[in-house]
A and B are shown apart, each in its own frame.
Chain A
Amino acid sequence: MNVTRGFTGRPRVNNTGLPPGQYDAGDDWPVLSAEVTPDLSPADWTFRVDGLVEQPHTWDWDEAHALPASAYEGDIHCVTSWSKFGVRFAGVSLDAFLAVARPHGSATHAVAYSHTGYTTNLPLADLTGGQAWIVWEYDGKPLPAEHGGPARLLVPHLYFWKSAKWVAGLTLLDHDEPGFWEQNGYHARGNPWEEQRYSGD
């Protein structure tokens, strides 16, 4: 352990919800995205599931909203070391979309892509079983564009770069394929509890 002379840090909070190396951002919600925020209206938004599925399908805004509503209330964790507790998102569970598209047994991974062309890869097992959502509301209001509105992917148990903003679709694959940040040195999976930040971790 390399103790830093004179460093005491913030008062310790016995908070078991904070993964290693993270701090509580409180009311802040930093905006992190590498590209220009797209000018994307709900009328222009679509979400597609294709690749290794029985029935590729594209939903528009109204069709997606016709699926059973589902909400997430819990924590989110960014690789840049902030976490945010007790956030509330509303949308539809990804399971509802996958139930329509019906993944093949050979599908093991997915690439999520955005209307900007941003990509991120995920094991299919991280997207099913009530662990992932398409969300369009934050704290009871429409999701702001800078946070991925009109709709973004939400995979709160992984670092937040996996929760693609302005999500446009998922392509199911039988292998893992690095997305944008993963090609730029970040970890393939990004589990905050195992501090999977960079590809050597």
Chain B
Amino acid sequence: MTEALSSPAFAPVTRFAVPGRIAVSNRTAAVWQTATLTEVRRETPYVSTFRFAVPAWQGHLPGQHLMLRLTAEDGYTAQRHYSIASPPEDSGHIELTLDHVEGGEVSGWFHTVAEPGDQVEVRGPLSGFFAWPGDRPALLVGAGSGVVPLMSMVRHHRARGLSVPLRLLVSARGPEELIYARELGAETTPVFTRSAPDGVPVGRMSTAHVAPLLADQPEGGWEAYVCGSNAFAEHASRLLVEAGQPVDRIRIERFG
């Protein structure tokens, strides 16, 4: 006996955990575009936001990333994936928020050389998996620069005046390292792991932060978006699962 002599559309025995959220445009992803740096804003002692004019940018959804390429005079290139910090409403412009990585080939150029007027190349937006179109209640959980794609979602939520529930849990070593601190509002619960303002506890993200949000689910439940280092992503996704969040509604972006 043989089976499956005809082969209909394939469905795995285990349903994929996390279906993609949107269809992506293959054309825009394949084309390199010139991005002109227009502004650099200091966020924390080690993190800055770089604003670019990209006239032909065809828009993105919060949570998407792009690939960026720098080219040396001898033709050597370096390319990296970066999450987009700005919301889609920022038409013709995109913002990236970059850590100054010790010895970083690309981040080092941004933090020590780049100035307004410089040009780099970008392609994207890429991947529909971590995207949030603003349609479902979103529970955003990030640490360090993992807050970057989540901030695009928060900004989108505000720019559109959306009423769909949105909450942000963000972990930083201390208040001075909390990226976008001035912009964070009532939707945000900061978690400080090393130092905190008077009266605010110090410690890593725990069940105590996650459980109340999952005990008070909006209609339809949360779609969870987790972004940060792999160690943080493992820790935070486990907290969510233990608190009852279904694994097929947890999307993870790991910064390798």
Flag if A36 contacts B17 (CB, 8 Å). yes
Q: Which of A172-201 contact B (CB under 8 A)?
A: 172-175, 177, 180-181, 183-186, 197-201
Contact at B31–A35, with CB atoms within 8 Å? no
If A4-B70, A21-B79, A52-B4 touch, whether A116 touches B120 (CB-CB below 8 Å) is no
Total interface residues on B, CB under 8 Å, equals: 62
Which residues does chain A contribute within 8 Å of B70, judged by CB atoms? 4, 7, 9
> Would you call B10 and A201 a contact (CB within 8 A)?
no
Is B189 on the interface with A (CB-CB < 8 A)? no
Cα–Cα distance between A149 and B70 once the two chains are bound (Å): 35
Task: Find the B residue at minimum CB distance from A178.
Answer: B10
Contact across chains for A114 and B14 when beta carbons are under 8 A apart: yes
List the A side residues contacting B220 at CB < 8 Å.
none
Q: Which of under 10, 10 to 19, 20 to 34, or 35 or more describes the interface residues of A?
A: 35 or more
Contact A2 B121 (CB under 8 A): yes
Contact surface of B with A, Cβ cutoff 8 Å? 2-5, 7, 9-10, 12-18, 20, 24-27, 29-31, 34, 67, 70-81, 105, 109, 113-114, 118-121, 123, 126-130, 230, 234, 237-238, 241, 247, 250-254, 256
Q: A8-B72, A55-B2 are in contact. List 17 more A-B contacts (CB 8 A).
A: A1-B75, A4-B109, A12-B74, A32-B256, A33-B252, A35-B17, A35-B250, A36-B250, A53-B2, A80-B81, A80-B256, A104-B2, A117-B16, A168-B13, A177-B10, A200-B26, A200-B27
Interface, chain A (partner B; CB < 8 A) = 1-10, 12, 21, 23, 28, 30-37, 48, 50-56, 80-82, 104, 111, 113-119, 146, 168-169, 171-175, 177, 180-181, 183-186, 197-201
Give 23 pairs: A residue, B residue, CB < 8 Å, sorted on A: A1-B75, A4-B71, A7-B70, A30-B230, A31-B254, A34-B129, A50-B4, A51-B4, A52-B7, A82-B256, A104-B2, A117-B15, A146-B234, A169-B12, A169-B13, A177-B9, A180-B16, A184-B24, A184-B127, A185-B29, A198-B29, A198-B30, A200-B29
